[in-house]
């Protein structure tokens, strides 16, 4: 429970958490580690590592190793499948894509990946993963029955089911690079049923204003990926996002 307990402590002390997502397929392991270090200097709380395509094998392992050499914050895997596991990471979002039509993303990949998590020191953090319109690459790869943006009540009942199944975290995903983030109505409806359970929101969050809207509506944690891959000054960008969400 070390990483989960660590994130809880940040929430208790600072109100909200900022997570930096790094896709190993988007740059070299060395560059990934530079981005991670710059993000930590800006105040990010943990580094998520994963992606829908190509984030596996040696490239994934080397990316995790290089990042861990540079930063002290937790590294949390965000696997697109059982191939997205690396024994070098601190934790894994052990997630089920509840609104997938493909059983592989609901439970089979989890079964295939469970032995590695069991044998290694990776801490599993149970999570309900929900993909909302437009869904992006992960929506297509995960064969998600996308939750319509204008149906917050559908997201809420999925989240409630995840909570009743024992998942500690819920992740509302609009898809990496989405034209706009999940709307506040949906975030509020989901957080209302989750209570103390944690809500992560990601996809299309590009600036401090959007980040603030998400946390004001009820997100406990926000994820940014694309905007940091594109930023010229990652530290400044993260600092801007972090100052908008923390107490």
Give contact residues for ligand 1GP (rule: CB under 6 A): 21, 138, 173, 176-178, 202-205, 223-227
Of 29 and 202, the one with the shorter C-beta distance to ligand 1GP is 202
Tell me how far, at minimum, the Cβ of 174 lies from ligand 1GP, in Å: 7
Tell me how far, at minimum, the Cβ of 177 lies from ligand 1GP, in Å: 5
Return the DSSP state at 132. Answer: B
- b/e code 205-239 from CB counts within 10 Å (16+ = b): bbebebbbbbbebbbbbbbbbbbbbebeebbebbb
Q: What gap in Å lies between CA 89 and CA 84, rounded to an integer?
A: 11
Q: What gap in Å lies between CA 119 and CA 101, rounded to an integer?
A: 30
Of 162 and 225, the one with the shorter C-beta distance to ligand 1GP is 225
Tell me how far, at minimum, the Cβ of 220 lies from ligand 1GP, in Å: 14
Q: What gap in Å lies between CA 97 and CA 2, rounded to an integer?
A: 24
* Rg, Å, the chain Cα set: 16
Q: How far is the CA of 241 from the CAs of 19, 39, 49, 224, in angstroms?
A: 10, 11, 19, 9
Of 9 and 145, the one with the shorter C-beta distance to ligand 1GP is 145
Tell me how far, at minimum, the Cβ of 68 lies from ligand 1GP, in Å: 21
Is 123 annotated to bind a ligand? Reply is no
Nearest residue by C-beta to ligand 1GP? 202
Of 32 and 178, the one with the shorter C-beta distance to ligand 1GP is 178
Is 15 annotated to bind a ligand? Reply is no
Q: Which residues are annotated as a binding site for Mg(2+)?
A: 23, 52
């Amino acid at each position: 429970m070390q990483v989960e307990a660590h994130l809880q402590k940040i929430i208790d002390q600072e109100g909200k958490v900022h997570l930096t997502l790094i896709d190993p397929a988007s740059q070299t392991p060395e560059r990934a580690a530079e981005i991670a270090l710059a993000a930590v200097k800006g105040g990010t709380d943990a580094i998520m590592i994963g992606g829908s395509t190509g984030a596996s094998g040696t490239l994934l392992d080397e990316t995790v190793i290089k990042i861990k050499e540079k930063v002290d914050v937790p590294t949390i895997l965000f696997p697109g499948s059982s191939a997205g596991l690396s024994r070098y990471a601190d934790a894994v979002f052990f997630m089920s894509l509840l609104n997938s039509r493909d059983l592989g993303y609901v439970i089979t990949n989890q079964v295939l990946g469970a032995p590695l998590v069991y044998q290694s020191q990776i801490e599993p953090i149970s999570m309900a993963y929900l993909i909302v319109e437009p869904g992006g690459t992960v929506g297509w790869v995960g064969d998600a029955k996308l939750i319509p943006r204008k149906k917050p009540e559908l997201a809420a009942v999925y989240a409630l089911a995840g909570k009743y199944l024992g998942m500690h975290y819920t992740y509302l995903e609009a898809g990496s690079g989405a034209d706009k983030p999940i709307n506040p109505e949906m975030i509020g409806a989901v957080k209302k049923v989750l209570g103390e359970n944690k809500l992560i929101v990601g996809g299309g969050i590009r600036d401090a204003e959007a980040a603030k809207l998400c946390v004001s509506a009820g997100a406990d944690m926000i994820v940014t990926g694309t905007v940091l891959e594109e930023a010229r000054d990652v530290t400044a960008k993260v600092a801007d996002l972090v100052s908008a969400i923390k107490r």
